[in-house]
Chain A
Amino acid sequence: MENTQSNSANPRMDLNFRRKKNAEDMKFQVIAFALTIFLTLVAFVAVGYDGFSHWFIVPFILLLAVVQVGFQLYYFMHMSHKGHEAVAFFLYSGSLVGAITILTFVTIVWL
């Protein structure tokens, strides 16, 4: 039931493996963290700089936001790990249905 079963009878082995795995995860988390800070700075610069038109800035910031959501889900919330297939499926199908509904409203229904 609990997700703590190990395949090996040797407790040391499990511990070593998990240590290595955790160190790797930490590395990815730090990289992702640095990238999110960087992307946030990029967003601020894009708004602050006078040379860009609204038609560039708004979609660009939205794009950065989507990337940040991806970082959040995959690195900070561990969706990159195994065992999250069902969650990923629900997230993606939910956003697909939501996106189609919104698309319908702004294109053909004219609420």
Chain B
Amino acid sequence: MSTYAQKKGIGATIWDYLTTVDHKKIAILYLIAGGLFFVVGGLEAMFIRIQLAVPNNDFVSAGLFNEIITMHGTTMIFLAAMPLLFGFMNAVMPLQIGARDVAFPFLNSLGFWLFFFGGVFLNLSWFLGGAPDAGWTSYASLSLASPGHGVDFYVLGLQISGAGTLIGGINFLVTIINMRAPGMTYMRMPLFTWSTFVASALILFAFPPLTVGLFLMLFDRMFGANFFDAAAGGNTIIWEHLFWIFGHPEVYILILPAFGIFSEIFATFSRKRLFGYSSMVFATVLIGFLGFMVWAHHMFTVGLGPIANAIFAVATMAIAVPTGIKIFNWLMTMWGGSIRFTTPMLYAVAFIPSFVAGGVTGIMNAVAPADYQFHDSYFVVAHFHYVIVGGVVLGLLAGAHFYWPKMFGTMLNEFLGKITFWLFLIGFHLTFFIQHFLGLMGMPRRVFTFMEGQGLETGNLVSSIGAFFMAAAIIILLINVVITSVKNEKVGNDPWGDGRTLEWAIPSPPPFYNFKQLPLVRGLDPYWLEKMEGKKGMMPAEPIGDIHMPNNSFIPFVLSMGMFIAAFGAMYQVDDKPWAIPVLILGLLIVFGSMFIRSIKDDHGFHIHKEDLLDEDDKEVKA
């Protein structure tokens, strides 16, 4: 039964990953795919900054610039930040609650492949007649007027990858509700699990409005409907409402898991229990609720009237309260702690001032009359890059260093990690801090060039230099990953030495069944609790017995590919291409055929037998 330990050929490994339903391997897939799209989105960011480095630049044309900014935003939000967070959720959350896998391993794999094919579809637009060019918000009047297939790629690609995200979110919710280990009550769950829970709930409620909006857009663009066409009796503002009813919760879907990662890091490297745990949980849930009641603050200048603007301004400012609770709790966690400045901890400490700066400009934007001045200027660009890069991306980089040993069994080099950190932090502030002032001086958002003698030259040049620092930081991180993988020095259960939660009580990487015996959880930070009582590991909550495991399946890949093929058919039928409808039908046949096979084929999985588990113990084989 120790097939796991055998050396496998490259083909077998690839097949294993294409068919895997193991949450740890799907986490690695999310990390690779998300990382790939992060690099693509990063290249687009570099092109933007190169174009804007000097006045009257002609590095790219105006039309291409629009495509680049649209794809930069869309890729970074939907195809980089969210999947990377999903990667950490998949890798860590089931371990933190003491589960052997997520609730629906098959759906977990389906969610990943749908996201992946949706993302590939969206990015193929570069090679098939031009990318979407209506901004990542794709406001209806503009996107309906956009010629070519760019916006169609946006609509169909996001629809497919959005379905994957929704499936993933529901899966995490069910996992956390139903699969916690004995003794793991809600109020003993680690903060990262809590933030995964709330973010998944936000996905559950926020993605349907996006799906509706994208469907309306799809019908308007491809089947002659007029939902958003004011000339034909439609209303172009409906798109803005639907998009932002989704879009605002979306930014909390991104930032809450990052908050969760930082909460774990602060507690671990301050060697203290997280200060105000229950208020942290309360604040996370409250942010989740308030996130749904502020969407119109993106639309202050639409002309909703002073009452709507005032109410949404006040609701927006209310979010500063739970966020403030969190900031103070993190500071209090460090206060009096025995702090170790490891790479993840450096990111966590730098995150506080960076994110607070973004939060403060957020409150400034929330003041509706002032927003008339800030709207569509570089001030807004600076604001959301401060919260997303200063919050989410720092969280992702911190999480990558922190959880790397748990996911891959090797430690990233700390020295290179710290170089990455400093380059990235300096580059980030260099790039975006000055954009506040560019905005206040009147530089509009989304312009492809600016003229000389308007006082914008120095600011933009500084901003572009900062971008190169960030690029250098990411290159060093990649070098670090390669060096670490080649050296391949395996580490033990708790490589940081101060792990508090369940995932650090099992080997790195964990065996494919995670826990030989489900652990008994006796309080918050269960592993720390046992360590403080002089024990080496968790007390088991059950005798060793057979473990039921799901079989691998190739169906998720095929099903998602069916959607991918169908999307091409749907898109090109607009041009009256004779092959378009057959391709659409072929794709849908693959989709429904896969569903049919999944439904009629009994797949009961397999059991790891008790004897094999005991054997492994005797032979000291680490799976």
Contacts and interface: CB of A to CB of B under 8 A. Distances in A.
A52 B245 CA distance: 39
Interface string B163-182: 00000000000000100000
A22 interface: no
B292 interface: yes
A70 interface: no
Interface string A36-51: 0000000000000000
Contact of B241 (A86, A94, A108, A109): A109
Interface stretch (B263-271, B275-283, B300-308, B465-473): B300-308
A111 interface: yes
Given A86-B177, A97-B205, A110 B289 contact: no
A110 B304 CA distance: 8
A90 interface: yes
A111 B241 contact: yes
B304 A108 contact: yes
Secondary structure call for the A interface:
helix
B226 interface: no
A65 to B, nearest CB: 22
Contacts of A101: 245, 292
Given A108-B311, A111-B241, A97 B289 contact: yes
Interface in B296-334: 296, 304-305, 307-308, 311
Interface residues of B, number: 18
B585 interface: no
B550 to A, nearest CB: 13
Contact of A109 (B177, B201, B289, B296): B296
A79 to B, nearest CB: 15
A86 B180 CA distance: 14
Contacts of B296: 104, 109
A93 interface: yes
Interface in A54-101: 86, 90, 93-94, 97, 100-101
A90 B176 CA distance: 14
A21 B407 CA distance: 47
A109 B308 contact: yes
B235 interface: yes
B238 interface: yes
A2 to B, nearest CB: 10
Nearest to B302: A109
A86 B235 CA distance: 38
Contact of A94 (B205, B235, B245, B307): B205
A93 B205 CA distance: 10
B520 interface: no
Nearest to B245: A101
Interface centre among A86, A101, A109 (most CB of B within 10 A): A109
A45 to B, nearest CB: 37
Contacts of B201: 90, 93
6 closest A-B pairs by CB: A108-B308, A97-B292, A86-B177, A108-B307, A109-B308, A109-B304
Interface of A: 86, 90, 93-94, 97, 100-101, 104-105, 108-111
Given A90-B201, A93-B201, A110-B304, 15 more contacts: A86-B177, A90-B204, A94-B205, A97-B205, A97-B292, A101-B245, A104-B296, A105-B241, A108-B305, A108-B307, A108-B311, A109-B296, A109-B304, A110-B305, A111-B237
20 contacts: A86-B177, A93-B201, A94-B205, A97-B205, A97-B289, A97-B292, A97-B293, A100-B292, A100-B293, A101-B245, A104-B308, A105-B241, A108-B305, A108-B307, A108-B308, A109-B296, A109-B304, A110-B305, A111-B237, A111-B238
